Structure 1
Amino acid sequence: MVRIVDVAKKANVSTATVSRVISKPDTVREETINKVLRAIKELNYHPNVLARQLRTSETKTVIVVIPDISNPFFSKVLRGIENLASANGYQVLLGDAGNDSEQESRYLDMLRQKKADGMILLTAKMKPEIVEEMANEFPVVLACEYIEGSSIPTISIDNVSSARKATEYLIQLGHRRIGTISGPLDSVLGQDRLKGFYQAMARYSISVDPVLVQEGHFNYESGFNLMKKFLALSRMPTGVFAANDEMALGAIRAIRTMNLRVPEDISIIGFDDIHFSSIFEPALTTISQPAFEIGSKAMELLIMLMDKKKIEKNQYILDDSLVIRESCSKINKSLHV
């Protein structure tokens, strides 16, 4: 087995210099770094990670906790996290909370046990005081969701504004009887996107029929089932805002089972712009989040916290955009009298 002393001998430097090249290259001259890296490559040397951890108390591992691993939206966020983590020598440990606050707490325990150097939470179902307590002791970043009034660094879009934009698009197409399938109302995303829906309706002085507001679970099945409820009404909605794309796709499927068409009979707009939304038929009009950038920024902030660097502000709001495709059209008044 190749040892650090072998690398030092081949590069004609001390073992301490080899160690600095591996752990703190900014303290070593470029010429020396190149010599050591050549020796490492030629000898196929792999540093003893466990020994390094014992010396530095670092694991070079971060935990990313997501609410639901089956939700395709998070794949882009995770790619952004992994991209920057890998470039900085960190490995990512993925934790699926399964929308369970107790499971989230178990991942926090891994920080307490020093099994990771920091954590990115893509969910915030735990009691705020528990998360705040952990963030005061360990590097923690929130992404996608947030905790009201928290000082924890947070990256997201403005979900209220985005939902308002989506609903206003339906209104501008002439729709007035508009339904919404919200996310779970015990989540900040569910609350904010429903709030944006109500704001848009109020801005245009459009009354909301309570039966057209249904709470979903951010999954395909709830979109399908709740759209079925809308379709059973004597006065169906002409347009529906679903608080994420999976529910929107489920809603479209339900409409088709009744031999109705999207958007000719009912317009559907979603939220997130997952990949499948662009290849589904009809292609889904939706709100696009900069998911990769959210993940990348979250990892950037976490690295700063782990390096004990100062972060300029606690909340970063990234821009979203309305992606207009085929699932919405102007209301056909002859079909809705």
Structure 2
Amino acid sequence: MQERVTMTDVARAAGVSTATVSYVLSGKRPVAPATRTAVEAAITELGFTVNTAARSLRTGQSTLVALIVPDIANPFFAQLAAALQEELRGLGLHVIVCNTRADRREERALLAEAVQQRFAGVVITPFRLLPRDIEVLGRAGIPTVISADVPFGPVDLVTPDARTATRQALERVTAAKRRRIAMIAGPRDATGGDPRLELLRNLARQFGTSLPGDLVVRGEHTREAGAEGFARLMSRRYRPDAVFCANDMVAVGALDKANELGVGIPGEVALVGHDDASFASLVRPQLTTIRYPAEDVGRAAARLLKERLDGRSVHRTVRVKAEFLARDSA
């Protein structure tokens, strides 16, 4: 049986120390480009792979990072997962995606599983969890990053900076003389309330309009909820002429229902999504949306995890810039 190639073998072939090979693999310290090239060439030539099982036995900790999301069907989270995985690969860490279906019991069960399995880290978009629920990870010493629109207690956070983009969306809508603005928002019991609704409501006042209570409908962040919410808005005596949506999945559901009801988009009603999921530019009309770049979120979360694994103890918040994308639906 062929003996397993070790880091010592790679170091000998590349003419460097084993520590340098480790730095190339982990990304924990900078390595000169020529040295990195030599190490990577030796890794390829020798067929070296990281022995993650041995590492787990030494440290008593898994090499797995859990990405816990509320809706695996939403392409936003697939994009986030790909970026997170790419950033963590050099550390010998592997990402597993866990779908909670926005169910609090499932969210809590997955946190408990992460503790039991001693995961190397957790990145989570909480939907119905409370800040105190996350404390179980901290007590277990598991590095944790929250991806959410609002602060979530003393923990690393990746959050959107969407104020400018939301203002630009309102500028486009109101410039077209639309004043009856509505929103298909998230459920009342979602974690942290509904910050996208509150931001839109606060900014709308600056444009001489508002979001009256009868023009805010609530539901899950799903395509089905978008269709149902749009139907409810169209049943109002005074229909809205612009509808903002909690995310792009909701917006596509609203577009489905608009087509079914014969409501012109954007002729009768302007439609604005949020996130810029991969399908947003594929539907017809193309979806005007507030782009919250999932890849940037994933990369930011990975960097925060790396810092924690390197010993950083102070909590950090990273704000990811959102961008308004004017397409055909508004």
**TM > 0.5 between the two?**
yes
**Length-normalised TM-score, structure 1:** 0.82
Residue 324 of structure 2: aligned partner: 322
Q: How does 1:150-169 map to 2 (within 5 A)?
A: 150-159=153-162, 162-169=165-172
Contact 2:69 2:125 in 1 (8 A): yes
Is the aligned partner of 1:256 residue 2:239?
no
Change (3 A) 1:190 1:223: farther
- Rounded to whole Å, the distance in 2 between the matches of 1:78 and 1:113 is 22
Q: Quote the sequence identity (%).
A: 26
Residue 141 of structure 1: aligned partner: 145
Q: How does 1:108-119 map to 2 (within 5 A)?
A: 108-119=111-122
Contact 2:162 2:321 in 1 (8 A): no
Q: CA deviation at 1:143?
A: 1.5
List gaps (5 residues or longer) in structure 2.
none
Change (3 A) 1:32 1:72: closer
Q: CA deviation at 1:50?
A: 2.1
- Rounded to whole Å, the distance in 1 between the matches of 2:9 and 2:322 is 55
Q: Give secondary structure in 2 for the equivalent of 1:318.
A: strand
- Rounded to whole Å, the distance in 2 between the matches of 1:6 and 1:316 is 37
Change (3 A) 1:107 1:238: same
Q: Kindly provide the amino acid, as one letter, of the partner of residue 3 in structure 2.
A: R
Q: CA deviation at 1:183?
A: 1.7
Equivalent pairs counted in the alignment come to: 321
Larger deviation: 119-128 or 65-74? Answer: 119-128
Q: Give secondary structure in 1 for the equivalent of 2:295.
A: helix
Contact 2:248 2:280 in 1 (8 A): yes
Change (3 A) 1:229 1:52: closer
- Rounded to whole Å, the distance in 1 between the matches of 2:103 and 2:201 is 28
Residue 2 of structure 2: aligned partner: 2
Q: Kindly provide the amino acid, as one letter, of the partner of residue 216 in structure 1.
A: G
- Rounded to whole Å, the distance in 1 between the matches of 2:269 and 2:49 is 60
Change (3 A) 1:215 1:308: same
Larger deviation: 292-301 or 31-40? Answer: 31-40
2:93 to 81, 90, 94: 90
Q: CA deviation at 1:60?
A: 2.3
Contact 2:118 2:142 in 1 (8 A): no
Change (3 A) 1:233 1:145: closer
Change (3 A) 1:35 1:191: closer
Residue 277 of structure 1: aligned partner: 280
- Rounded to whole Å, the distance in 1 between the matches of 2:281 and 2:271 is 14
Contact 2:181 2:243 in 1 (8 A): yes
Q: Kindly provide the amino acid, as one letter, of the partner of residue 2 in structure 1.
A: Q
CA deviations 1:61-113 (Å, max 9, x no partner) are 21111111111211221121011011332111111111112222222223322
- Rounded to whole Å, the distance in 2 between the matches of 1:260 and 1:66 is 33
Is the aligned partner of 1:267 residue 2:262?
no
CA deviations 1:171-224 (Å, max 9, x no partner) are 232111111111223224761011022112322342543221100211111111
CA deviations 1:87-142 (Å, max 9, x no partner) are 33211111111111222222222332244211111225222112134235321111
Q: Kindly provide the amino acid, as one letter, of the partner of residue 305 in structure 1.
A: R
Residue 335 of structure 1: aligned partner: none
Change (3 A) 1:172 1:304: same
Q: Kindly provide the amino acid, as one letter, of the partner of residue 145 in structure 2.
A: V
Q: Give secondary structure in 2 for the equivalent of 1:198.
A: helix
Change (3 A) 1:2 1:145: farther
**Length-normalised TM-score, structure 2:** 0.84
List gaps (5 residues or longer) in structure 1.
329-337
Q: CA deviation at 1:248?
A: 1.4
Residue 220 of structure 1: aligned partner: 223
Q: CA deviation at 1:48?
A: 4.2
Q: Give secondary structure in 2 for the equivalent of 1:278.
A: coil
Change (3 A) 1:217 1:121: same
- Rounded to whole Å, the distance in 1 between the matches of 2:132 and 2:11 is 52
